[in-house]
Amino acid sequence: KITKVACKLPPYEVEEIYTLEEVLQRVGWNITAFNLPAAWAVTQGEGVTVAVIDTGCDLDHPDLVGNLVPGKNFVDPSQPPEDDNQHGTHVAGTICALNKDIGMVGVAPMCKVMPIKVLNAMGGGNMTNVANGIIYAVDHGADIICMSLGCRRPVAEVHRAIQYADSKGIPVFVAAGNATKGNTYTKELFYPANYQETIAIGSIDESFNRSDFSNTGLELDFMAPGKKIFSTVPDNWYAFLSGTSQAGPFA
């Protein structure tokens, strides 16, 4: 018998929110600090599909619609993987927002995102759906899997799904998790970031220091920009969010 273990988004902070009409193209510090435009001369992510296992995605956002491929809704299989939170849309934009005159630009503006919804409007869900989402991504052509979610204990079915992805040569990037308020140094990553087969991502700020909310631990693999990241949110809007969730898609 499989017990459904609850999972959720790591805590994250929302700052200013902008409408489409208010935004000419903004290039976030996470793009300029690493001089990604120079890397785009070599590749902009062409031919790569990233499965974003999260709250879904705004399927009509003008900065995303040209780079989305069909995904799946595991919360309500009768519906498309539409984002009723905002988190998944923000992650997707960080990865693949189109490079045009308005809005923002993603890390790999010519790659594709496969939205897989496993979390509800409150950012909660269960690890059974996460495991099924990983398997779906592997079986439907994802080249990379990105997850910014987790729980505090291991779940065997999720670990098996990650091992399945690993056996197919598909890397799984996972947010390390955020320390609880007032605890600025946590030495244990959340699962599934804590599995050896995943690539666990912590957060740095604009000064390249560890963000005060970012978990650490022996299984931490990389640090990436996660503080005050500008990206897409539903209904043609944009926002600054902070958290290890924002670092995962950059890596």
The catalytic residues are 54, 87, 245
Round to whole Å and give the CA distance between 235 and 213.
28
Nearest Cα to 94, choosing from 108, 106, 109, 112? Answer: 106
Round to whole Å and give the CA distance between 117 and 144.
16
Round to whole Å and give the CA distance between 118 and 125.
6
Angle of helix 127-139 relative to helix 156-167, nearest 10 degrees, comes to: 10
Q: Are strands 237-242 and 13-19 parallel, antiparallel or unpaired?
A: antiparallel
Q: Tokens 């976030």 belong to which residue?
A: 28
Q: Left (φ > 0), alpha (ψ -120 to 50) or beta: where does 169 sit?
A: left
Round to whole Å and give the CA distance between 181 and 161.
31
Round to whole Å and give the CA distance between 71 and 68.
9
Q: Answer positive or negative: Cα dihedral of 25, 63, 51, 176.
A: positive
Side chain identity, residue 79: Q
